[in-house]
Amino acid sequence: MLAHVTCGPTLYLHVGTNKTATTTIQARLAASPDALARRGLLYPKAGRLPSGAHHVLAAAMHRHPPPDLRDVPPLAAQLEELEAEVAAARPRGVVVSSEMLWRRERHRPEAMDALLQRFPRTVVVLFVRRQDAWHLSRYNSLQRRRGTASSFADFVRRRPVAFLEGVERWAERVGAEAMRVRPFVPEAWRDGDVTSEFLAQLDTELQADDLADAPLHNPSLRWDVVEVLRLLGEAPIPDRERLVGLLERRFAERSPEPPPPPLTEDLFLELRARHAEENRRLAADWFRRDEAEALAFPADPPASTGSPDVELADVLPVLSEVWRQRIRLGNHVSALRRRVGRLERRLAHLDRGRVSWSGRVRRLLGRPSMPGSGKEGSGERREDAREDAG
C-alpha cells in the first residue's frame, strides 16, 4: 500500500480548468501509453472513462457527483487498481486528469487525502482562460450537449466563476511550489501548442508530436445554431447530435460567414470590471513575468449586438428535414407541443399577419393543430459537476 509513502512516483494532477482543451489532452494521453512509458510516465486506466478523463475517480471523491456518475466503483477499489498499475509500471510520474477536480471545495477532504497520500509529491497543473472567452465556450458547449433556455447574458450572470479562488484553494492543499498555473493563451505555450505546454509541466521533454493524434473534441457551434438550440430549450432531444449536425450544415449553406458571438459591449464591460483585478493578481502571483498581460481584457469591446436573429425562413426547412430524416426530438408528443409553443411565442414577431408559426410547424411535422401553446419548461437546470467536465 502506498499510503503515506516517502518515495515513489510524483502525482501530476491535471485539474482543468474546463474549457481549456482538457478533453483533447486527455484523449491524446490515453491513446499514447507507450510514448508516455518511454519517458517514465503512466496515465492510468483506473478511474478513467473511455474518453480518457479520470471522471470516474473524481466522481468517487465528489460531494455531489452528476447523475451519470453516481454509480461508480468505490474509491477504495479504484485506488487499489491504481496501486496495482503503479506497481507494475514503476513510473517516475503518474498523470491523473479530470476537470471535475478543479473546484476542490466540492470534494470530500478525506477522499482527496486518500489519493494524495499515496504519493510522496503532488504537482497540480491547471490552465486559466480569460473569463469572457471561457463563458462563451461553456455556453456553446452546454447548448450542444443538453440545451438551456437562458440567454447568454443571463447564463453569465447566474453562473459566475472565480479562478483565483480555485487556484488559491489548491495552493493551500499542496503548497504554492507544487502549483503549475498556465494561461490559456497560445502565445504563452511551448511551440504554440497547448498539449506541448501541458507536457512541459510534467518535467519531460516529451513533445505533442510524440503523442497519438486525437479527433477534435467539443468543436464550437455556429452562434445562429446555438440560438436555435436555445429556442428549443431544455426538453430532452434523443437525437441531439444528429439535429446539431443538420443545423450546422444547413446554416453554413445558407450563410457561409458565421455570425459573431453574443458578447455585447455592456456584458463585456461588466466582465472586465468584475475580473480585471482578479486576472492581474493571477498573473502577478502565478505566471511568468513576461506573461503579466496574458489575461488582460482588451481596451476595445467587441462589436457584437447580442444573439443572432433567427428567421423563419432559416428554421422551417430544417424542421421539415428533421421530420423526413426521422430525427427524434422527444419521446412524447407533449414535449413536442411545449417546444413548438415556445418557438411560437419567441418567433411570433417574425411572422405577424401570416399563418401562425405553430400551425406551419405542425403541418410540416404531420401533427394536427392543437389549441394552446403549452407551458414553459422547468427553467434553468442547476449547475452540477458535469459542467466542470464539459
In a domain, 250, yes or no: yes
The pLDDT tens digits for 203-237 are: 999 999 999 998 766 789 999 999 988 887 776 77
User: Are residues 210 and 316 located together in one domain of the fold?
Assistant: no
Q: Per the domain annotation, does 372 fall within a domain?
A: no
Instruction: Report in angstroms the alpha-carbon separations of 164 from 78, 147, 168, 301, 315.
Output: 31, 28, 6, 23, 42
Q: Answer yes or no: are the C-beta atoms of 215 and 25 closer than 8 Å.
A: no
Q: Which of 7-21, 66-80, 118-132, 247-261 has the lowest mean pLDDT?
A: 247-261
Identify the band that residue 346 occupies on the pLDDT scale cut at 50, 70 and 90: low
- For residue 388, being part of any structural domain is answered with no
User: Both 255 and 171 in a single domain?
Assistant: no
Per mean pLDDT, which range of 89-98, 101-110, 303-312 is the poorest?
303-312
- Determine, yes or no, domain membership for 52: yes
Last residue of a domain, one of 183, 218, 253: 218
Clarify whether residues 95 and 214 are in a common domain.
yes
Per residue in 113-160, pLDDT tens? 999 999 999 999 999 999 999 999 999 999 998 899 899 999 999 999
Range of the domain at 211: 10-129+161-218
- Indicate whether 125 belongs to any domain: yes
So what's the pLDDT on residue 277? Answer: 96
User: Are 55 and 187 found together in one domain?
Assistant: yes
Q: Are residues 243 and 213 part of one domain? A: no
**By three-state DSSP, how is residue 383 classified?**
coil
Which residues, in sequence order, are CB contacts of 234 under 8 Å at separation 6+? 146, 147, 148, 149, 377, 378, 380, 381
Identify the residue with better confidence: 347 or 13: 13
Please, what is the average pLDDT of the chain?
85
Last residue of a domain, one of 184, 218, 252: 218
Q: Are residues 68 and 24 in the same domain?
A: yes
- Residue 156 domain-assigned? no
Domain count of the chain? 2
